Each structure stands twice: as structure tokens, then as C-alpha cells.
Amino acid sequence: MRIRKVLLTCFSILLTTSFSASVFAESTEYSTTTFSLSSVEVTNPDNLSLSESVLLDVINRAEGIASDEKASYNSSSTSFKTSSTEDVVINYYFDDDSHYYFYEETKNGKSLFVEEKDQVDNQSLTEIKPFSNDIDDGIGGRILVNSTTGNLLESKWQLPTASQLTGAPSEATYIYTGLRNSSIEVDANVTYNNASGEARFRPRLCVKPNSTKQCMGAVTQPGYDKVHSSNGYKLGSTITTAFWRSYSDEARNISKAVRLKTTGLAICANAGCSDSTDTTLINIIETNNVNMTNQQYFKFLVTIAGGEQPPGKVRATFSGITLDGVAKTPVLGATDRATVSISGNSATIIVDSTLPE
């Protein structure tokens, strides 16, 4: 009987300890500015109360995406690679119902930046004009891939050199793809920036409902750069792009996400550019549960924003354009002080403020 009591007592202690540990683990929250979790350095600038279990799910999702991307890069052709797989930088921007996340993985470590959605959405954002078939608030050229059902649009973009960007304004010169339906337009672009150090093109994603005329979704929207990486793609380089109208990965809780993936040679080896070594950057931006249906067309544009006739020049070549793996020949959409040359599933758009309208 004594042995039985001892065993029962030990079992009770073990059960109580396990239960307490489980409850503690589920209720653990972090509210400090920086801390480490699962070998990932987490930055929480607004000292939000963050659930450990939620953060671990976020980290597992991001690490899984990074692992998949590195495996894909490693198996790609030698001509595609500009860095060793070990040196590749992964940047992954994504969201859930309450937060935006920026995950970075480099050969030197892993980091996660967390921001509350309300903090981002309440910022003063760049206003977007209502839809138009013309080039609004600037100059540029647009080509279209007409499709009401397509999903994955892929292409390569030849970025301009410094001499092809004469007078182009920083943070107002864009090369982009995207799509439009009756109520939402998506701009998935790289934006020219020469604010400090070496000039570069930085990826952005903007989902803009026509009713608000503002960018909603994706932490890299214009007018809000708090979570934005300083890194970007080198002038004159070629980047490979993949744009999904609706991307889902049930195992990682991704559903009907608008997603932009860009791969190419960047000016730095980390987001803060403390290491200025040229390095391959795989950048993914996605915003969940957009549910883009009944689209009218996919698009490619090169533009300079800022009034009726902003000064400057910019150009880009889009090549190897495919929709769901099928080569597509784009059609002319609009021009304003720009020329468009289309050849098969490639096109070059040259924008120059000295050209006629």
C-alpha cells in the first residue's frame, strides 16, 4: 500500500508539473523590444504583448518558406545563380489578422520584425487616384496580358543602368507588374531609391481598393517604410519575378494571398546594409486572404510619378513573360511620354520626359 501511495504521489506531482508547464508555455507572452526565441532575434519596437505559441508558428512558417526557397535555388541552373546557396539572403514579408512580419535569414543568423497592423494602416499613406486607362499622376508606359482566370505571372526584368535613370526621382520611379479587377488593383513593383549610399530598386506590394484609393496590405506599401529593408537590387541587373493572384499553402496557413517573389543580385548581404557585399536576394511579399477574382487583366508598367510631367528617364525590358507556364504576348495598354516595343513574349518600355505625349 505504501508503495502504491508513493507511486500515486509521484504520478500526481509529475502530472501537476507537466500541466503547469503546459499552461505556462501556452500563456507565455513577450512585450520587450528585443528578445531571442528559437534561435531567431525578434524585434518588437512597440512592445506589443506577443504570444509565444503564435510567434513559434510564425517562425516555423518563415523558416519553412526560407528552406524551400534555398532548396529551389540550390537546384537551379548554374547560369541562374549569382551567389552560393549558403550566402543567399531570404527576406519574407507577410501578415495575419493582427500583425505584419518581416523575416530575414542570412548566413549570419535569423531575425523577425513584428508590427501591429493598426500602427501601419493608420499612417499617412500615399493617396492613389481612382482607376483610369491613362497613366495617372505622372508619365510612363503600360502593357497588358488579358486574362480573367490566370494565376501565376512570371517574367525577367532588365533594370536600368545609372545612365538610363537620368533625372529619375527617388521613391517615385517604378517598374512593376500587377493586376486589376472591378474593385481592387494590385501594384507589385520595384522602386528606385538613391537616398543614401548605392542606388537600388526595392520591392513593394500594394493592394488598393478603389473605394479608399490607398495601399492596404503588405508592410512595404508607399508612405510607410518603418519595416522596409534598406537593401535592394543593383542597377543594370536582371531580376526574376513571380506574381501570384491567389497563392495558397494550407500547411502554413496561407490562403488566397497576393504574392510577389523577386530574385536577383542585391547591393547588400542584409536588410540593414551593414554588410555591403553584393549578394543574391530572394524577396517574398504576400498579404493573406485577398481573394482576387474576376480580374480583367495582368499588367506591366514603367512609370515616373509626380504631376502632369515629372522630369526624368527610366527604362526596363520584360522578357520571358508566361502565365501559368504558357508564353504570352502582351498588348499595348497606354503611353504618356514613353515608347513601347513588343516582340513575342518580351517588351521594352522607355520613359523620357522630353518625349511627346
- DSSP characters for 196-262? SSS-EEEEEEEEEETTT-B-BSSTT-TT--TT--S--BPTT-EEEEEEEEEEEEGGGTEEEEEEEEE
Check residues 323 and 78 and name the one with the higher pLDDT.
323
Measuring CA to CA, which residue among 248, 347, 260, 246 is closest to residue 295? 246
Cell numbers standing for residue 325: 507556364
Residue 100: what pLDDT? 86
Residue 195: what pLDDT? 78
Q: What's the alpha-carbon Rg for the chain, to the nearest Å?
A: 23
pLDDT at residue 278 is higher than 60? yes
User: Look-up: residue for cell 501578415?
Assistant: 95
* 12-26, 111-125, 319-333: the lowest-pLDDT one: 12-26
Domain range annotation of the chain: 27-116, 125-352
pLDDT in tens, 194-239: 977 789 999 988 888 765 555 644 444 444 444 457 899 999 999 9
pLDDT band per the 50, 70, 90 thresholds, residue 321? very high
pLDDT in tens, 51-79: 999 999 999 999 999 999 999 999 988 77
- The CATH class given to the 125-352 domain equals mainly beta
- DSSP characters for 12-47? HHHHHHHHHHHHHHHH-EE-SSEEEETTEEEE-TT-
pLDDT band per the 50, 70, 90 thresholds, residue 9? very low
Residue 275: what pLDDT? 93
Claim: this prediction has a pTM higher than 0.75: yes
Spatial separation of the C-alpha atoms in residues 278 and 276, rounded to whole Å: 6
pLDDT at residue 11 is higher than 80? no
C-beta of residue 215 within 8 angstroms of C-beta of residue 206: yes
DSSP state of 117: H
Residue 223: what pLDDT? 43
Spatial separation of the C-alpha atoms in residues 87 and 84, rounded to whole Å: 5
Work out the average pLDDT over 96-104: 89
Residue 119: what pLDDT? 55
φ and ψ at residue 94, rounded to 5 degrees:
-155, 175
Residue 126: what pLDDT? 41
Other residues' Cβ atoms within 10 Å of the Cβ of residue 260: 29
Q: In which element (H, E) is residue 134 found?
A: none
Vertex 269: Cα angle to 112 and 36 (nearest 5): 25
Check residues 343 and 125 and name the one with the higher pLDDT.
343
Check residues 125 and 157 and name the one with the higher pLDDT.
157
